Structure 1
Amino acid sequence: MPASPRYPRSRWLVFALLAGFGLWWDLYSKWLAFDTLGYARVPGDRQPISEPWFTWLWGRNVLYISTNFNYGALWGFGQGWSLGFAALSILAAVGITYWLFVHGAARSLWLTVALGLVMAGTLGNLYDRLGLHGLTTHDGTPIRAVRDFIYFKIIEWPIFNFADSFLVTGAIMLILHSFWHDLVERKQELLPNETAPPIANP
C-alpha cells in the first residue's frame, strides 16, 4: 500500500531553506576561492595553493585552500564523465523531490533535512558540471568540471568542496535512518501480538 503523502507544510520550508542556503554557500565559497587564488588554465599546470589556514597544536599544517577541477564524481572517481554525472544529478534532483513530497517521505523531519543537504550538494556540483561558472582554459574552452578547493594536506585527503560535504552528511543521515528503521521493525516483530484473541481453556 503506498505511503500517505500527507506531511506538515513546514517541511517545504525546511527543505527549501537547506537546499537554497547550501547551494548559495557552496557557489559563493567556490567563487571566492577561485577568484582569490586563480586556477590552472592549462592542463597539467601546478595548482594554486594558499598559505596554511590552520596549524595543529604541534606545529603541523592542516588546512589549505587549493583550486582544482574535478571532471568526475566525489573524490575524483569516474574522471571524464562530467556530463554523464550531470545527467544523473538531474535525475537525482527529480527523484528527491518526488520521494519527499509525492511519496510522503517529508513526514520525517530527519529525512527532510538529509535530503535537503543532498539536494544542495547535487545542485552545487551540477552547476559546475554544466560549466555555468563561466571558467575557461587558456584557449577559451569552457571548463565543465566541479570546482574543488578544500585541502586537508595533513592526511593528503582528496581536495573537495562544500557540496561534497553536504552530500556526504546527507548520505550518512540516510544510512543512520535506514539502520534505525530496521531496528524498530525488528523490535516490533519480537514484541508479542497483543491484539491476538485469548486462547480458550480446554
Structure 2
Amino acid sequence: MDEPDRNPPNTPPPSLPKNRVVVFLGLAITGAIADLWSKQAIFAWRGLPGQKDIWWLIDGYFGIETAVNLGAVFGIGQGQGVIFASLSVVAGIGVLVWLFWFRAAHSMWLTVALGLISGGIIGNLYDRLGLWWQPGYPDAWKSGVRDWVLWQASDQWKWPNFNIADSLLVVGACMLMYQSFFPGVNGTPSATAGSASSTPPSDAESNDPKLKPSHSEEPTQ
C-alpha cells in the first residue's frame, strides 16, 4: 500500500507572524505623520517658496528651504503630478497584495522596507491630491509636493530639495535592492535553499538494501 503524501497539495500556507501587521502599519502611519507634520511646521515657519532665505544648519551645505515639487522624487518628471498620484495609489495597493496575499510579510526585512515605502507613498500622495492647497496658491501646486530639505556640495552642485517621504521611499527601495542581491539573508529563503535536505526519499530508495545501513554479523558459535 502506498504511503500517504507527505506534502499534500491542499495544505494551507503557514500563517503570518502576528506582529507583521503591527510593524507594517506602525512604520507606514508613523512615517506619513512625520512627513506631513514636518511639512506643515516648516512651511508655517519659513513661509512659501521664495519668501525667506535659506536657514543653514551647516553653512553652505545643509539647510532648510521651502519648495514645491511638481514632479516625482527629487524633482523627476516635472508637471506630471496627476500621473504620479495615480501611480502612488497603484503602488500602495501592490504593496498590500505583495505583503499579505503573496506572503512577503513572512520576512521582517521586507515588512520594514515596504512599511517605509508605504509611509512615503502616503505622505506624498496627500500633497499630490491637493489636500494642502489653499485658494490663492498657483493652480500648478494642486498636484505639487512640499519639499524643505536642502543639500548641496556647492552653489553649482545642488541636490533637488526633498522631504521625509522621499527619504522613506529611498531607504525602502535600497532595502529591496539589497534583498534582491542577497536573497535568503534577511528572512526570505531562496528558492533552492534546503531543497536537498527537505526532499524525502522515494519508496524505491527506501526499499533498496544497498541504501540501508549495514549491521555487524552475529558471531558464529
TM-score (norm 1): 0.81
Post-superposition Cα deviations, 1:32-55, rounded to whole Å, max 9, x if no partner, equal 111111114xxxxx4643321124
CA distance in 1, matches of 2:197, 2:19: 37
Range with greater deviation from structure 2 (137-146 or 160-169): 137-146
- Structure 2 counterpart of 1:168: 170
Q: CA RMSD in A?
A: 3.0
Post-superposition Cα deviations, 1:169-188, rounded to whole Å, max 9, x if no partner, equal 00000111111117874984
- Structure 2 counterpart of 1:25: 34
Contact 2:70 2:141 in 1 (8 A): no
Letter matched to residue 34 of structure 1: F
Instruction: List alignment gaps of at least 5 residues for structure 2.
Output: 1-8, 212-221
Range with greater deviation from structure 2 (176-185 or 144-153): 176-185
Q: How many residues align?
A: 191
Instruction: List alignment gaps of at least 5 residues for structure 1.
Output: 41-45, 56-60
- Structure 1 counterpart of 2:57: 53
Q: In the superposition, relative to structure 1, how do residues 125 and 5 fare at CA in structure 2: closer, same or farther (>3 Å)?
A: farther
CA distance in 1, matches of 2:197, 2:64: 58
| Structure 2 residue matching 1:132: 3-state secondary structure | coil
Q: In the superposition, relative to structure 1, how do residues 150 and 195 fare at CA in structure 2: closer, same or farther (>3 Å)?
A: same
Letter matched to residue 57 of structure 2: W
Contact 1:134 1:142 in 2 (8 A): yes
| Structure 2 residue matching 1:150: 3-state secondary structure | strand
**1:195 CA displacement:** 6.6
Q: How much identity, in percent, do the aligned residues show? A: 38
Contact 1:4 1:103 in 2 (8 A): no
Alignment partner of 1:66 is 2:65: yes
